[in-house]
Amino acid sequence: MIHSAQRKRRGEETHTLRCKIRQITLGLLCAAASSAQPLALGGITHVAFRIANLRASAAFYQGLGFEEAFRFDDAGSTVVDFLKINDHHFIEQSPRPADSSPWA
pLDDT tens column, 32-83? 666 666 767 778 888 898 888 888 988 898 899 989 998 888 888 878 989 9
- β-partners of residue 74 are 77
Helix, strand or coil, per DSSP, at residue 91: strand
| CA pair distance 95, 52, nearest whole angstrom | 6
Q: Residue type for 88, please?
A: H
Q: What is the CA radius of gyration of the chain?
A: 27
Q: How many CB atoms lie within 10 A of CB 80?
A: 15
Please tell me the pTM assigned to this model: 0.53
